[in-house]
Amino acid sequence: MPTVTIQPTGEVIYLAPEETVLSGLYKAGYAYTIGCRRGGCAICKVDCHAGDPRRSQRRPWSSRRSR
């Protein structure tokens, strides 16, 4: 099961297999700035400090890896 660890608190959020990080944050009670809700505008971009955030082929930015 995919997880997201919130820094600096260390809280762990468990994601469903096809759930997005943004959706998981909302379900866990986090308010997060969004724009287009599909990744095109990058307003909701977060930093990945570890792991391999793989994206589904159905998302338009799946061939790019932002940093």
Q: What is the pLDDT of residue 64?
A: 45
Report residue 15: phi and psi, to 5°.
-110, 145
Q: Give the DSSP per-residue string, 1-55.
A: --EEE-TTT--EEE--TT--HHHHHHHTT-----SSSSSSS-TT-----SS----
Q: What is the pLDDT of residue 54?
A: 67
Q: What is the pLDDT of residue 55?
A: 60
Q: What is the pLDDT of residue 50?
A: 84
pTM over 0.75: no
Domain ranges of the chain: 1-67
pLDDT average per 10 residues of sequence, the chain (67 residues): 90 90 89 76 82 60 44
Q: What is the pLDDT of residue 13?
A: 94
Contact 14, 6 (CB under 8 A): no
